[in-house]
Structure 1
Amino acid sequence: MSGLCKAKDWLARRVVLGVGVFSALFLVATACTPVQAPGGSENHSPGFSLAEKASAEEERGYRTHVGHFLSSDGLELAVRAWLPLEEEPRAVILALHGFNDYAHAFAPLGEALAQQDIAVFAYDQRGFGESPNTGLWAGGEVMTADVRTVSAQLRGTFPGVPLYLFGESMGGAVLLAAEAEPEGLDADGLILSAPAVWARETQPWYQRVGLWVALRTVPWFRPSASSVRRQASDNIEMLRALGRDPLVLGSARIDTIAGLVDLMDRALAAGPAVHTPTLLLYGERDEIIPPEPVERLWQEMPQEAGHRFLRYPEGWHLLTRDLQGPRVIDDIAAWIDNPTGTLPSTVERLPEEHAQEVEQREG
């Protein structure tokens, strides 16, 4: 009888030990599982809800509106709009911001173009700014669906008005990925400013391996942005303001970074599928996106679509916010007016005041 009791005791200890080991492994596996931002519920009617932010800006020839866009799955995405004083603009731009940024990034672009009767709308993409699930990656498919839904709403709001889609860095990658999907993009033109196309196949091996290992061990870890010694612009005051802005994320989870790299893989591969007339913009001093994948994207884009590629020798990554940002914005406006015409930066020198600022910064 005592032998039977000992056997039962031994079995019980082994069961407890097994359960303990299984529980520990389960907790470790759960802790190391990448997290994706949850979506909303289905069957919502998407649409804008905007309110005028200030009336004093009317003296400068535009109005600013803030509000939200209700997505098709019921999530509210924060929206900013810069509208001309005229009731109907001559063109509409939907702008998508870059990684860790938000819609306020387009204030210089929106203010300048609204004074030229071009309306600019921008929304905080999921996981960024004031939109839901800050810091979590929503997935490339969801992000491309959002831009398609918002642009369709703008088509309905401004019937007959040309619609252009502007993407800065990550926003450019979203547009490229969406253009390559079977539905394509319903737009009169694309504007890609330093698009994030630094795909895995163009990255050094140690960078790819490091991300692969980190994603499977510490997907929750947030590397400090200060550890990446790269400068995004020569506009130092603007960069300092970004550092003080609580809506600009100072770091990102490993699984969010991996999501961005997945998106960049899709964006670079999208080159042959870009049939919407596109203005590609790149600064030759860009320290964020290397020139080689951007050049490869350009070479693979079908040239019969009438694409244009502008390289700015004095340009950095945040082209519309650089010291020579007004020059880039003038090119965008001119391209919208005449996609095949001469653009200001191809025939004019850098404005003297901006040239002096650039020289002082470099000195």
Structure 2
Amino acid sequence: MIAVSAAAVMLSACAPTVVPAGGPVQAPRLTDDRYVAADGTSLPLSVWPAANGAPKAVILALHGFGDYRMAWEEPAGTWSGAGITTYAYDQRGFGGSPSRGRWPGTDTLVDDARTVAALVRARHPGVPFYLAGESMGGAVVLVAADRGAESDGLVLSAAAVRSRDTFGPVASAGLWFFAHTIPWMPAGPTSIDYKPTDNPKTIDKLRNDPMMLRQPRLDMAYGLVDLMDDARASAARVKEPYLMMYGLGDRIVPQAPVKAAIEIMPPRPDSKLAFYKEGYHLLMRDKAGPAVTEDVAAWISNHEAQLPSGADASKSLPEMASLWGSKRNGQASARPRSE
């Protein structure tokens, strides 16, 4: 009994750290280079305006785990030339946020995304607005959309939909135990160890950019899995048009969880699945990243036309997730035009 009590005390003393948003003290707002949240937290913001006048569309882009807003610098440059304005901010716990290195919780990440989306939409009334997310950012986008973030479509690049059940009971139990006993320990190998891209320039940035968060705490990884659980559930309730992109060389988000998520996503004639045979996790920063980025611009311009790269015509992963979950068991008759 004493041992059990001691273990309980140890676990409670070492519970995963979560640093959520505080209570509201002001109205949230955007400045030229900041998103200032209702609790007063100031998060760095970058904006890449559309070239040559008013934007044809606007994207709010959310970065992945360990990354920060400049993950979107290269794609945003291409989108600018296509008449698209891109906004990106450092999510709490990452980049230049004041709580860097601490997990903010799914609710806080999602509330920030919903708030920034509303602020950006208000700044560009009447302009088509899209939510884009890479990896963890894709998970935040899915949950934010499910919780009411309004947009004209979702761009999901290697979305983190690796829910807890796909890890297996042993790995899941191990993560829970260590996150509750040694939450301050590094989570293990970094994404670099899993070849996130074939682009040496991108790898160099991951290794040397001081704003990248390397060796995150175990409790941050634990929080990420909670987010991915919610994202997987939200995938079944997508109401907006979406472009789901995945690189078949991705070693960070395996094919099986992505296939399972796709099978429950509502098939829509204005939505696409795009699989890149030579693509890795950081699709838009791979050597072939410009082609992926151009696909996004093309889809925003016309949801139903074939993508310039032809990635939406490839029946893979496997056979386009069993032809999109057999069209959700016959409940939807519309098929992607590439079929």
State if a TM-score over 0.5 links the two structures: yes
Q: Pick closer, same or farther for the CA change 1:347–1:250 going to 2, 3 Å.
A: closer
Match of 1:252 among 207, 210, 216: 216
Q: Which residue of 2 aligns with 1:308?
A: 272
Aligned residue type for 1:40:
G
Q: Pick closer, same or farther for the CA change 1:272–1:26 going to 2, 3 Å.
A: closer
Partners of 1:188 and 1:149 lie apart in 2 by 16
TM-aligned CA deviation for residue 226 of structure 1: 4.9
Structure number with bigger Rg = 1
TM-aligned CA deviation for residue 26 of structure 1: 9.6
Q: Pick closer, same or farther for the CA change 1:193–1:25 going to 2, 3 Å.
A: closer
Any conservation in 2 of the 1:33–1:216 contact (CA below 8 Å)?
yes
TM-aligned CA deviation for residue 219 of structure 1: 1.2
TM-aligned CA deviation for residue 230 of structure 1: 1.0
Any conservation in 1 of the 2:63–2:135 contact (CA below 8 Å)?
yes
TM-aligned CA deviation for residue 147 of structure 1: 0.7
Q: Which residue of 1 aligns with 2:105?
A: 139
Q: Which residue of 2 aligns with 1:34?
A: 16
> What are the equivalent positions in structure 2 for 1:294-305 lying under 5 Å apart?
294-304=258-268
Any conservation in 2 of the 1:224–1:250 contact (CA below 8 Å)?
no
Aligned residue type for 1:167:
G
Partners of 2:311 and 2:272 lie apart in 1 by 15
TM-aligned CA deviation for residue 132 of structure 1: 1.7
Q: Which residue of 1 aligns with 2:193?
A: 229
The alignment yields a C-alpha RMSD, in angstroms, of: 2.3
Q: Which residue of 1 aligns with 2:239?
A: 275
TM-aligned CA deviation for residue 241 of structure 1: 1.8
Aligned residue type for 1:46:
P
Give the number of aligned pairs.
Answer: 310
Aligned residue type for 1:104:
M
Partners of 1:80 and 1:147 lie apart in 2 by 15
Q: Pick closer, same or farther for the CA change 1:347–1:107 going to 2, 3 Å.
A: closer
> What are the equivalent positions in structure 2 for 1:181-330 lying under 5 Å apart?
181=147, 184-226=148-190, 229-304=193-268, 306-330=270-294
Partners of 1:111 and 1:249 lie apart in 2 by 24
Runs of 4+ with deviation above 4 angstroms: 24-31
TM-aligned CA deviation for residue 302 of structure 1: 1.1
Deviations 1:113-153 (A, max 9, x none): 11221000000000100012001110101111111100101
Aligned residue type for 1:214:
F
Q: Which residue of 2 aligns with 1:69?
A: 35
Any conservation in 2 of the 1:232–1:318 contact (CA below 8 Å)?
yes
Aligned residue type for 2:58:
V
Aligned residue type for 1:299:
E
Partners of 1:75 and 1:148 lie apart in 2 by 15
SS of alignment partner, residue 195 of structure 1: coil
Deviations 1:257-307 (A, max 9, x none): 110000001111112210110000000000000111111211111113632
Aligned residue type for 1:325:
G
Please list every run of 5 or more consecutive structure 1 residues that lacks an aligned counterpart in the other structure. 1-17, 51-66, 350-363
Partners of 1:38 and 1:284 lie apart in 2 by 35
Deviations 1:78-105 (A, max 9, x none): 1011112434211000000000000000
Aligned residue type for 1:264:
M
Partners of 1:258 and 1:264 lie apart in 2 by 10
Q: Which residue of 2 aligns with 1:337?
A: 301
Match of 1:45 among 27, 30, 34: 27
TM-aligned CA deviation for residue 227 of structure 1: 9.3
Any conservation in 1 of the 2:102–2:220 contact (CA below 8 Å)?
yes
> What are the equivalent positions in structure 2 for 1:83-162 lying under 5 Å apart?
83-162=49-128
Any conservation in 1 of the 2:276–2:311 contact (CA below 8 Å)?
no
Q: Pick closer, same or farther for the CA change 1:347–1:25 going to 2, 3 Å.
A: closer
Please list every run of 5 or more consecutive structure 2 residues that lacks an aligned counterpart in the other structure. 314-339
Any conservation in 2 of the 1:274–1:301 contact (CA below 8 Å)?
yes
Partners of 2:53 and 2:124 lie apart in 1 by 10
* TM-score w.r.t. length of structure 1: 0.81
TM-aligned CA deviation for residue 180 of structure 1: 2.3
Deviations 1:239-264 (A, max 9, x none): 11221111101111111111000000
TM-aligned CA deviation for residue 225 of structure 1: 2.8
Partners of 1:38 and 1:266 lie apart in 2 by 17
Deviations 1:184-212 (A, max 9, x none): 22000000000001111111333212101
Partners of 1:343 and 1:168 lie apart in 2 by 19
> Equivalent pairs: percent with the same residue?
41
Any conservation in 2 of the 1:275–1:305 contact (CA below 8 Å)?
no
Q: Which residue of 2 aligns with 1:175?
A: 141
Per chain length, whose mean CA-contact separation is higher, i.e. which structure has more relative contact order (CA < 8 Å, sep 6+)? 2
TM-aligned CA deviation for residue 112 of structure 1: 1.0
Partners of 1:42 and 1:78 lie apart in 2 by 19
